[in-house]
Amino acid sequence: MAFPKEPAGANAAIQTVEIDSSVSVDGVTDEKEEIERRQVRILNRQGAAMLAAEKQRADAIQRNYRNYDEAMVAAYVDIHRKATW
């Protein structure tokens, strides 16, 4: 439906306009910036996961050393106990 004093094809041109999907709702952020933000979030999550894994690894190493130390102390005590009896 054309308004008065408009050319006949004016509405047809408006109906074929497409919205650019690379612009966000606020009209400022483009697709590249959104992809970069997503990549940063992914890297942050991976960093946190790697930190947690390293902490678990360090805890396991510490437990192994503690077990080793306890075994060495027990062996030392056992050797001295046998030597003094």
pLDDT by position in tens, the chain (length 85):
445 555 555 554 444 545 555 545 555 556 788 888 888 888 888 888 888 888 888 888 888 888 888 888 888 888 888 877 6
Q: Is residue 74 part of a domain?
A: yes
pLDDT at 29: 58
pLDDT at 36: 85
pLDDT at 37: 85
- SS3 per residue for 27-67: CCCEHHHHHHHHHHHHHHHHHHHHHHHHHHHHHHHHHHHHH
Burial of 60 (0-12, 13-18, 19+ CB in 10 A): exposed
pLDDT at 28: 56
Q: Is residue 10 part of a domain?
A: no
Looking at the 3D structure of the chain, how many domains does it have?
1
- Cα separation, 12 vs 9, whole angstroms: 5
Range of the domain at 57: 26-84
- Name the pTM for this structure: 0.39
pLDDT at 85: 63
Q: Is residue 70 part of a domain?
A: yes
Q: Is residue 72 part of a domain?
A: yes
Q: Is residue 73 part of a domain?
A: yes
